Amino acid sequence: MHNILIIDDEKRMRDSLKVLLSGEGYEVETADNCQSGIECLKKGPYALVVTDLVTPRLTGFEVMDHVAKHCPETLVIAMTGYASLDSAVEAMRRGAYDYIVKPFNFDVMKLTVERAIDRVNLSRRVRKTEEKYKLLVEEINDGYFVLQDKKLVYANKTFAGMLGYKPEDITGQDFAYFIGLGTYPKFEQLLLTENGDSVQEEFYFKGKEGVDVPVEIRVTRTYTDDRPSLVGICRDIRERKALWDKIIRSEKLASLGGLIAGIAHELNNKLTPVLAYAELMGDSTLDPQNRRRIEIIANSAIGAKKIVESLLLFARQEKPQRKRIDINEVIHNALNLLQYQFKNERIALRLDLKPDLPDIFADFHQMEQVFLNIIKNAFQAMDGTGGQLTIFSLSDEKDIIVEISDTGIGIPPEILPIIFDPFFTTKAEGKGTGLGLSLCHGIVQEHGGEISVTSEPGQTTFQVKLPLNRPEVNHGQDRYSSDDSTEKGVRKTILVIDDEESISLLLSELLEGKYEVARVSNGHEALNVMAGKEFDLIISDIKMPGMDGMEFFKWIEANKPLYKRKIVFTTGVTFDAEVHAFLESTKNPYLTKPFKIAQLMEAVETALMKSEG
């Protein structure tokens, strides 16, 4: 039976979760604040901790720190009623297994706990398997060495091979030469091993090419040839660590992706009226100063929309919108956006872009984001002291190749292998989330390309390779024609279904000049209105409380099939797998929030024309 600790200052929440999880066969204990929770953790092991991030004494982050330091086999699920991207990233950085936003469906909590316990069980099985494996593997298959007076007097082929040498190349060397960065204090501790004692540690050796090699090492103090010696047996654990890191990373990305998807839905709903009303006000008679203010509002809303799209891409929730593009044009566009920074940072630009490069099929804005992120990192590397940025492009038989070099301080060799990892950043706290280069890596991979980096003091070069062949994809094609053939002189009737009052009012205001409009907030209300009135067109949101857009469409299919092709959907979550599959299956037109007024009017007129035909 697995023990679970629940930490929350709300008694009702503690009691509800205890009843829920006890009913699933878990042993459940509770604490009403994080300080008490940490005291519980000191007394006994728990498989899982479910903690609120905010309690009267300490926070859930302190609980995560305690678990990471003292209970590494315990998993943590964080809960919060005040969700933000910063808190999600911080929770994941501190080792949270998952992140749940209050209020939540208890089925979601139950499923999350089940997944966490499955992970605990898997980890235990892995440990047991490793223990059996250690007993079965003969010592000769591991690295074996003998030290006397801190010098290497013997090394077998396996140990020497780990470091990239032959045994005769390293015998007689001072052993400190092979100690990896940051692990020398551990080595000094190993030297203090008492006679007859055996000590096991995870350790880093420095290989022939300067690459740190992680090993699991066991040393024993003994006598060899009547001389005091330290005998070591070690195993290369690079593959195991890489696999484990991959598991951890994929779980963090999955959890963060779900959180981002929910936040994006809400942001898109809020941005829709901001963008549309800014358009409306911009079309009115305003003095130049107020017109400029409205333009700033509209551009800021569009910028926020692009940020949401980038976050969704990072979370692997959004497919590229590909078309034929000129990569040199993308580079010029990115540079134009950074003109001020070039002057402000005193950076000289050298461009060597091969003319007449073949077009590639890619998402223009995503490629622009890749180059913007790389160039901004170059600015940071040159750190306001000036320097030169060099960009060149060329093509070979298979790829377009872009290289971006800077004359900055360079990237330390120990950081290079993890520079594309999510959450990794060298910036000060609060200055970055560590998602920029990870986002670049994801975009390039999604396009079938490769991104790599080389660095030495005084120069860093990023290389981006993108395939010339056209991917067999067709994402996000526009479903609307530009033909404006709505019959004039006849007021058509339109039913708007949306639970967001601001969006419902916006749609009504935009449409009622040409059409008769009725508004409801969910599918049930729509059916009640439709019982007494006919409509020429229905504009329905998909995600709503009560009967949502998908359930409403199924009811229409079964009971009023003539309306089936008279529905235009609106949604802020096309990246959701269920919503995406629904839209693909219905083939009905849809608008992605936030949308422009022209897109709405075109969609309405086209749908009315098709319904009449």
CB hemisphere CA count around 491 (13 angstroms)? 8
Q: Are 404 and 367 in contact (CB under 8 A)?
A: no
Please report the pLDDT score of residue 551 as a whole number: 95
Triad 309, 313, 315: Cα angle to 5°: 120
Q: What is the rounded CA–CA span in Å between residue 277 and residue 256?
A: 32
The amino acid sitting at 568 is V
Q: What is the rounded CA–CA span in Å between residue 241 and residue 101?
A: 31
Please report the pLDDT score of residue 465 as a whole number: 94
Give the residue ranges of the chain where pLDDT is below 50. 133-134, 137-138, 317, 428-433, 470-488
Please report the pLDDT score of residue 378 as a whole number: 86
Joined tokens for residue 156: 């077998």
Q: Are 188 and 175 in contact (CB under 8 A)?
A: no
Question: What strand order describes the sheet that includes 98-101?
Answer: 27-31, 3-7, 48-52, 75-80, 98-101
In 3D, which of 101, 600, 577, 93 has the Cα closest to residue 312?
Answer: 577
Joined tokens for residue 549: 């857009």
Residues 6+ away with beta carbon under 8 Å from 38: 58, 62, 63, 66
The amino acid sitting at 32 is D
Please report the pLDDT score of residue 517 as a whole number: 94
Please report the pLDDT score of residue 432 as a whole number: 45
Average pLDDT value for the chain: 82
Q: Are 157 and 242 in contact (CB under 8 A)?
A: no
**Any long-range contacts for 274-281 (C-beta under 8 Å, 24+ apart)?**
274/301, 274/594, 275/301, 275/302, 275/305, 275/594, 275/595, 275/596, 276/506, 276/510, 276/594, 276/595, 276/596, 276/597, 276/600, 277/506, 279/596, 279/597, 280/509, 280/510, 280/597
Please report the pLDDT score of residue 310 as a whole number: 63
Please report the pLDDT score of residue 425 as a whole number: 57
Q: Are strands 537-541 and 567-571 parallel, antiparallel or unpaired?
A: parallel
pTM beyond cutoff 0.75: no
Q: What is the rounded CA–CA span in Å between residue 67 and residue 52?
A: 15
Please report the pLDDT score of residue 315 as a whole number: 56
What 3-state DSSP class applies to 493?
strand
Q: Are 510 and 600 in contact (CB under 8 A)?
A: yes
Please report the pLDDT score of residue 49 as a whole number: 96
> What burial class does residue 91 get, using C-beta atoms within 10 Å of its C-beta: 0-12 exposed, 13-18 middle, 19+ buried?
buried
For residue 537, give the DSSP letter.
E
